């Protein structure tokens, strides 16, 4: 398999999992992404940060194939996926946890958890998942996904994609609207995922959370990447970042 | 009440249950299709008619008989539906569902028109299979075996479909895709294929209803549209897109229609629509409706 | 620069549009005046009735975006009532038309009040179901409708009790007059503040609600108006062609009026008239091949929905707007 190599911040070479170049996207006539460029290496946790409406979710939806009208280049592990249907992209190992969490109200919690088909044997077992999210264990029999609290829904949304064996995760604002204690739990989960070699592209507006989990940050504004830096520098960049995130 | 009128009532209720069996099958197909495709399938009536004609053509002329037709015709109707879905529906999924109704209306009158050209408007007789001739006297009512068979098949198919959708993993995928098809696709599930298969299954139900109707009602090109319009009222009463609503309202309206025939025969053809008006006044979403 | 110019540009194009419409109206009226000398007048009368019906339908679908699949009940029942009062009570034509319009309006009010809460696809199914009920009632109520036979030989009484319209030539001018007046009235409605509000509702209902518009009321009013004008079309047909039958209340007519509007151009002023000409023209071309009519109609439906949703006039306007 052909794999692109690129130097990481600390000088070592790592395989590039995802390379997005000159990505443009439209909703009907309205042009919302104007030449996005970004790279995610294997095992990295990279964030997309920026204010509401900057184009972060749209970028994720271009990668997972849901966005219809898109142009440019998206390479995933050496394959061009720009024209692929979402279900094919998913079977290559890209899983999405969308901003609205997409918990299905007509499915029980158990059905929600078991909905995504397994892609390979490398996924987590249900036991491992319950170790990560103990609360879910008791809620398994709940008759409707809609009856869960926001935090539980978020955990379920992450849990169900960990079962499948997908190892490239697109997470869209997983901490939005959640209590600090649950945010900590999600941070801990992301650390474990990092140790296990998952690659994560995380959309965030919560800078402190992002700083606690990420390797690298991209700043998105008006459909473009306007800045990027390694997490080591994030303290020095704090003011700048806050400016990007403010309204 | 004297003995005779009890027999009369029981007889009409029985006829009502049989009509209700057809309403329920057709409404169930409409509900499943609407849930997945967001299209009210006006072809459901034409495909019911197609099923009945196929029973006649395949069963009588190819010599596979009623029992062969009962299996083969729904499959053929389903495949025909799948072809239509692949050829015509892609263009309209992203626009107002009203266009889906108009498109299927157009296709329905084409199908109906072609059959009228070939077979004329008069009905074609189709006989009850030998093994189901005769009947049994239950004391309060005489039950022809064939009619009992129809009710049985319809009940089994309706319940089976309901169970499959509510209780199986495939059903869970179907329900999920009805709620949020995009998210389901990002799990690697081929939703467009599911949509096509769902349409095929939904119209196969119409085909099955048609085959079963062939020996009871006269087989004619226009048999589909009139029952379809009643089915629309049934669907509005049950709640558009609700599986349970379609089944319950289907049988319920059949029975109400039967009872009306006893007590107020002039109103028997309109009572379904009156029931719809009442439901619209009291419960605009329908008995089991969730959607706005 | 575009933004600065756009305002004057828009009002300029509106004036131009108005001018074009007036020219089109004059052309249409002119054509209709000479038409009976070239074509059999009663055929043109049939076109006029259908055109009026399609314009009335367009009042609902085109201007409010609501699809009714049951307009035959207004058209057919008005035809019966107008025919009945002419036949049994010797009502003068203008009275018969009024009765017909009132029938349409009343039915429209009842059905509309029940159906208007539900949108889109639901409305279509509900109206279709109610229309079927009115069809069954028409079959049963012999005393008014004549049942299977329908009303035949409806008399053309004297207009206002004075003017004789009882000949093919005369009834043509009567029908033309009614059509042109009704056409102008509907055009006026579209351009009135009421019509503007309907347009606002169609384009963005949540916004219209937030601006304090009682959208349900407006929609119901549009529904009733559309039903009333459909009733006018039906009663005009009954008097001019002296016939009202079950065909006029059947679901096929509801489909046909949708087809005419769709072919001509939903939401355009003259589209439904063009659609009526096309549909009646198709019917004439297929004379002798009656069996093929449903197949052809169905095919036109499918083609329109798949490739041609703007209709003839909508497509022409689209091409011109691009320039
Ligand atoms: N479904 C949609 N239709 C039209 N415009 C949309 C839609 N979703 C998002 N947008 C627009 O696209 C831009 C980017 O949105 P999004 O990617 O959701 O931003 P973010 O996730 O960064 O908040 C915004 O201007 C938003 O208004
Ligand atoms: Mg977002």
CA torsion C237-C239-C245-C246 (nearest 10°) is: 50
Q: Quote the pLDDT of residue A1.
A: 37
Backbone angles phi, psi at C85, to 5 degrees: -70, -30
Flag residues of chain A having pLDDT under 70.
Answer: 1-13, 247
Q: Quote the pLDDT of residue B2.
A: 53
Nearest to B212 by CA among B141, B156, B165: B156
Nearest to C310 by CA among B95, B168, B132, A10: B95
- Residue A53 falls in which region: left (phi positive, over 0), alpha (psi -120 to 50) or beta: left
pLDDT top residue among B255 and C167: B255
Instruction: Please judge whether B116 and C291 are an interchain contact, meaning their C-beta atoms are less than 8 angstroms apart.
Output: yes
Which run of H or of E encompasses C44? Answer: helix C41-64
Q: In sequence order, which residues have a C-beta less than 8 Å from that of residue A131 and are 6 or more positions away? A: none
Ligand nearest, relative to CA of residue A56 = 1
The token pair at A70 is: 């898109």
DSSP, res C68: P
Q: In sequence order, which residues have a C-beta less than 8 Å from that of residue A175 and are 6 or more positions away? A: A183, A186, A204, A206, A209
For B53-83, the pLDDT digits (tens) are: 999 888 777 878 888 889 999 999 999 999 9
Nearest to B49 by CA among B227, B254, B247: B227
The token pair at C42 is: 């009663």
The CB-side HSE value for A223 (13 A sphere, CA atoms) comes to 15
Nearest to B238 by CA among B247, B225, B230, B229: B247
Best B273, B279, B286, B289 residue to mutate vs chain C (most C CBs within 10 Å): B273
C181 touches chain B (CB under 8 A): no
Selecting from 1.10.3470, 1.10.155, 1.10.10, 3.30.450, what CATH number does the domain B3-282 have? 1.10.3470
Chain B meets chain C (3+ C-beta pairs below 8 A): yes
Flag residues of chain C having pLDDT under 50.
Answer: 1-6
Instruction: Please judge whether B186 and A117 are an interchain contact, meaning their C-beta atoms are less than 8 angstroms apart.
Output: no
Chain B residues close to A111, C-beta within 8 Å: 169, 172, 176
ipTM of the modeled complex: 0.90
For B190-244, the pLDDT digits (tens) are: 999 999 999 999 999 999 999 999 998 889 999 998 899 999 999 999 998 889 9
Q: Quote the pLDDT of residue B290.
A: 64
C116 touches chain B (CB under 8 A): no
Q: How far is the CA of B189 from the CAs of B50, B163, B177, B198, in angstroms?
A: 32, 21, 9, 14
Q: Quote the pLDDT of residue A178.
A: 93
Among B176, B186, B192, beta carbon nearest to A90: B186
Q: Quote the pLDDT of residue B268.
A: 86
Q: Quote the pLDDT of residue A153.
A: 95
Mutate which of A34, A50, A51, A57 for ligand 1? The one with the most ligand atoms within 8 Å of its CB, which is A57
Cα-to-centroid distance, C246 and ligand 2 (Å): 57
Residue A6 burial (10 A CB sphere; 0-12, 13-18, 19+): exposed
Query: Strand A216-221 and strand A45-49: pairing?
Result: parallel
Chain centroid to CA A181: 21
Instruction: Please judge whether A106 and B189 are an interchain contact, meaning their C-beta atoms are less than 8 angstroms apart.
Output: no
Find the DSSP H helices in chain B.
3-37, 43-54, 65-88, 97-119, 145-167, 169-179, 181-185, 191-213, 223-238, 243-263, 271-282
The token pair at B234 is: 């049934």
Query: How far apart, in whole angstroms, are the C-alpha atoms of residue B9 and residue C59?
Result: 47
B177 pLDDT exceeds 90?
A: yes
The token pair at C220 is: 């119901």
Q: C161-200 b/e with 16+ CB inside 10 Å = b? A: eeeebeeeeebbebbbebbbebbeebbebbeeebbebbbb
Q: Quote the pLDDT of residue B128.
A: 81
Closest residue (by CA) to atom 4 of ligand 1?
A: A27
Question: By the 8 A CB rule, do B43 and B107 touch?
Answer: yes
Superfamily of domain A5-93+167-245: P-loop containing nucleotide triphosphate hydrolases (3.40.50.300)
DSSP, res B139: S
For B145-172, the pLDDT digits (tens) are: 999 999 999 999 999 999 999 999 999 9
Q: Measuring from each residue's beta carbon to the nearest atom of ligand 1, which residues come in under 6 Å? A: A 27, 30, 32, 50, 52-58
How many residues appear in chain A?
247
The token pair at B138 is: 């239950």
Among A87, A90, A107, beta carbon nearest to B175: A107
Q: Where are the domains of chain A?
A: 5-93+167-245
Ligand nearest, relative to CA of residue A174 = 2
Query: Strand C243-244 and strand C151-152: pairing?
Result: antiparallel
Q: Measured on CA atoms in the order B267, B273, B276, B278, is the torsion positive or negative?
A: negative
Question: By the 8 A CB rule, do C100 and C73 touch?
Answer: no
Q: Where are the domains of chain C?
A: 40-248
Q: In sequence order, which residues have a C-beta less than 8 Å from that of residue B13 and are 6 or more positions away? A: B255, B258, B259
Query: How far apart, in whole angstroms, are the C-alpha atoms of residue B199 and residue B193?
Result: 10
Q: Where are the domains of chain B?
A: 3-282
Chain C residues close to B235, C-beta within 8 Å: 125
DSSP, res A146: G
């Amino acid at each position: 398999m052909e794999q692109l190599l690129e130097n990481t911040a600390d000088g070592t070479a790592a395989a590039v999992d995802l390379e997005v170049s000159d990505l443009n996207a439209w909703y009907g006539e309205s042009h919302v992404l104007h030449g996005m460029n970004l790279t995610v290496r294997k095992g990295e946790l990279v964030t997309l940060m920026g204010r509401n409406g900057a184009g972060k979710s749209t970028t994720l939806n271009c990668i997972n194939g849901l966005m219809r009208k898109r142009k440019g280049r998206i390479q995933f592990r050496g394959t061009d996926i720009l024209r692929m249907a979402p279900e094919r992209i998913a079977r290559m190992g890209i899983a999405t946890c969308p901003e609205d969490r997409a918990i299905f109200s007509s499915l029980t919690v158990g059905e929600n958890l078991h909905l995504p088909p397994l892609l390979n044997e490398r996924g987590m077992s249900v036991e491992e998942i319950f170790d990560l999210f103990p609360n879910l264990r008791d809620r398994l029999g709940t008759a409707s996904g809609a009856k869960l609290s926001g935090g539980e829904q978020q955990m379920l949304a992450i849990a169900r994609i960990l079962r499948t064996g997908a190892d490239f995760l697109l997470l869209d604002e997983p901490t939005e609207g959640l209590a600090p204690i649950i945010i900590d739990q999600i941070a801990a989960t992301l650390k474990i995922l990092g140790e296990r070699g998952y690659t994560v592209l995380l959309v965030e507006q919560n800078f402190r959370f992002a700083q606690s989990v990420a390797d690298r940050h991209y700043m998105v504004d008006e459909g473009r990447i306007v800045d990027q830096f390694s997490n080591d520098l994030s303290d020095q960049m704090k003011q700048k970042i806050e400016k990007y995130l403010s309204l | 009440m004297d003995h005779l009128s009890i027999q009369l009532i029981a007889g009409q209720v029985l006829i009502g249950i049989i009509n209700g069996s057809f309403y329920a099958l057709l409404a169930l197909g409409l509900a499943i299709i609407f849930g997945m495709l967001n299209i009210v399938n006006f072809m459901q009536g034409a495909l019911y008619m197609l099923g009945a004609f196929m029973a006649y053509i395949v069963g009588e002329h190819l010599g596979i008989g009623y029992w062969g037709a009962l299996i083969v015709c729904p499959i053929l109707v389903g495949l025909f539906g799948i072809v239509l879905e692949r050829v015509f529906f892609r263009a309209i999924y992203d626009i107002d569902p009203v266009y889906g109704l108009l498109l299927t209306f157009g296709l329905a009158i084409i199908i109906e028109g072609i059959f009228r050209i070939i077979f004329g408007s008069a009905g074609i007789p189709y006989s009850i299979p030998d093994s189901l001739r005769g009947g049994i006297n239950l004391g309060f009512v005489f039950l022809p075996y064939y009619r009992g068979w129809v009710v049985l098949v319809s009940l089994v198919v309706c319940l089976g479909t309901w169970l499959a959708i509510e209780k199986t993993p495939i059903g869970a995928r179907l329900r999920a895709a009805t709620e949020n098809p995009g998210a389901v696709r990002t799990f690697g599930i081929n939703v467009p294929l599911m949509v096509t298969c769902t349409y095929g299954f939904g119209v196969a139900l119409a085909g099955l209803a048609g085959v079963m109707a062939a020996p009871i009602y006269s087989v004619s090109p226009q048999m589909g549209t009139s029952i379809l319009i009643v089915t629309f009222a049934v669907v509005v009463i049950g709640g558009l897109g609700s599986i349970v609503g379609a089944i319950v309202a289907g049988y319920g309206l059949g029975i109400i229609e039967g009872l009306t025939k006893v007590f107020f025969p002039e109103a028997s053809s309109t009572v379904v629509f009156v029931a719809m008006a009442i439901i619209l006044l009291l419960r605009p979403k329908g008995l089991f409706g969730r959607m706005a | 620069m575009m933004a600065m110019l756009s305002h004057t540009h828009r009002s300029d194009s509106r004036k131009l549009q108005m001018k074009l419409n007036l020219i089109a109206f004059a052309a249409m009226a002119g054509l209709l005046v000479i038409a009976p000398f070239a074509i059999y007048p009663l055929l043109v009368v049939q076109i006029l009735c259908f055109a009026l019906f399609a314009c009335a339908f367009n009042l609902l679908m085109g201007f409010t975006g609501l699809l009714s699949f049951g307009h035959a009940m207004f058209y057919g029942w008005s035809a019966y009532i107008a025919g009945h009062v002419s036949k049994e009570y010797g009502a003068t034509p203008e009275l018969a038309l009024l009765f017909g319009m009132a029938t349409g309006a009343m039915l429209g009010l009842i059905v509309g009040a029940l159906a208007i809460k539900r949108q889109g696809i639901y409305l279509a199914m509900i109206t279709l179901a109610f229309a079927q009920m009115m069809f069954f009632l028409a079959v049963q109520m012999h005393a008014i409708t004549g049942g299977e036979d329908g009303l035949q030989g409806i008399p053309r009484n004297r207009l206002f009790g004075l003017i004789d319209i009882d000949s093919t030539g005369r009834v043509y001018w009567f029908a033309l007059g009614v059509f042109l007046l009704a056409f102008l009235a509907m055009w006026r409605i579209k351009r009135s503040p009421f019509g503007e509000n309907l347009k606002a509702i169609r384009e963005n209902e949540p916004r219209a609600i937030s601006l304090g518009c009682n959208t349900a009321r407006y929609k119901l009013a549009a529904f009733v108006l559309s039903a009333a004008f459909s009733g006018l079309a039906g009663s005009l047909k009954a008097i001019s062609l002296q016939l009202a039958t079950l065909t006029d209340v059947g679901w096929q007519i509801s489909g046909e009026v949708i087809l005419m509007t769709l072919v001509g151009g939903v939401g355009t002023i003259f589209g439904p008239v063009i659609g009526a000409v096309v549909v009646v023209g198709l019917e004439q071309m297929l004379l002798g091949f009656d069996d093929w009519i449903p197949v052809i109609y169905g095919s036109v439906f499918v083609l329109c929905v798949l490739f041609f949703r703007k209709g003839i006039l909508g497509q022409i306007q689209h091409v011109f707007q691009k320039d």
